[in-house]
Amino acid sequence: MAHLTLKQILKDAQKKHYAIGQFNFSTLEQLRGILAAAQKMKSPVILGTSEGESKFLGLKETIALVEISKVKYQIPAFLNLDHGKDLKWIKQAIDYGYPAVHFDGSGLALEENIKYAKEIVEYAHKKGVLVEGELGYLRGKSGLHKKITRIRKKDLTSPQEVIRFTKETKVDSLAIAIGNIHGIYSRMPKLDFARLKEIREKTNSFLVLHGGSGISNKGIKKAVKFGIVKVNINTELRLVWKNSLENYFKRKPQEIKPYKILTQVQIAIQKKVEEKLELFGSKNCRYFT
């Protein structure tokens, strides 16, 4: 297997109009499910850990787990610190060896977002680490929600601000808000493809679609066609994790061996990730030859 960098892989995705999946994890059976799917589908994969997930696992343990697993599964897999807001924590992740980080300054005023994104980029690029910035206000949390959070037009990424933000910060990737939302809702909002097209015309940064859970397959396909090269999925995997555990205990309430129970969870996660990799068009990647 050729050893390509994440940047080379994202460039290839940009050129050939497919997307790399980022799947979040915080437990070993989740990680194994994701990697087993990537291995089966011959697809590169990004492994996301939010601040909460990485604090639960520990930055060093996360890196060690991924490094040893990459040897086992023999696939291009890259860790990304997802939605980093704490500059100290992001810098620590870079120091410990994360190959990619996401600085989420979307809650800040534009000037501040630019200032801190720039600081992280300067720090990260010295060590060859990729940085994802974020522009626009992405609502919601990675969970199940009954009521839809109203997305206002002013929440969406402004194509004009994209020019300034990417030029001044020099981020490698950009998370955008085009109607996407974190979590699953009874009614999912519509994506603004005209805005995506306009953003794509204004920057060569790798465009990232957060809140991938719950978006229809048609919506994801269209977003990838229009220039999205990274899709983040968390809620759908969390749901599979919970449902597969509950189903297991319903079927076998007496079972107490964690390795037996969690094998079923791992298999269920693998299946869901395989579906997503198929959808994103990243399978049968040439990096395996």
- For residue 235, the minimal CB distance to ligand G3H (Å) is 3
Nearest of 102, 79, 275 to residue 176 by alpha carbon: 102
- What is the Cα gyration radius of the chain? 18
Q: Which residue's CB is nearer to ligand G3H, number 14 or number 22?
A: 22
Contact range with ligand G3H by CB under 6 A, out of 84-92, 117-125, 154-162, 227-235: 227-235
Told to judge if 155 belongs to the known catalytic residues of this protein, a careful annotator would answer: no
241-245: which pairs have CB atoms within 8 A and are 24 or more residues apart? 241/27, 241/29, 241/30, 241/265, 241/268, 241/269, 243/268, 244/268, 244/269
Is 282 among the residues that bind ligand G3H (CB under 6 A)? no
The label of the residue with tokens 């997930």 reads 53
Distances from the Cα of 113 to the Cα of 146, 175, 177, angstroms? 31, 13, 15
Burial 158-180 (b: 16+ CB within 10 A, else e): bbebbeebbeebebbbbbbbbbb
Is 102 among the residues that bind Zn ion (CB under 5 A)? no
Is 233 among the residues that bind ligand G3H (CB under 6 A)? yes
How many chain residues bind Zn ion (CB under 5 A)? 1
- Of 32, 200, 210, 276, the one binding Zn ion (CB under 5 A) is 210
Is 211 among the residues that bind ligand G3H (CB under 6 A)? yes
Q: Which residue's CB is nearer to ligand G3H, number 29 or number 53?
A: 53
Is 203 among the residues that bind ligand G3H (CB under 6 A)? no
The dihedral built from the CA positions of residue 286, 24, 47 and 159, taken in this order, carries a sign that is positive
Is 54 among the residues that bind ligand G3H (CB under 6 A)? no
User: Which residues are annotated as catalytic?
Assistant: 82
Residues that bind ligand G3H (CB under 6 A): 24, 48, 82-83, 142, 182-183, 210-213, 232-236
Residues that bind Zn ion (CB under 5 A): 210
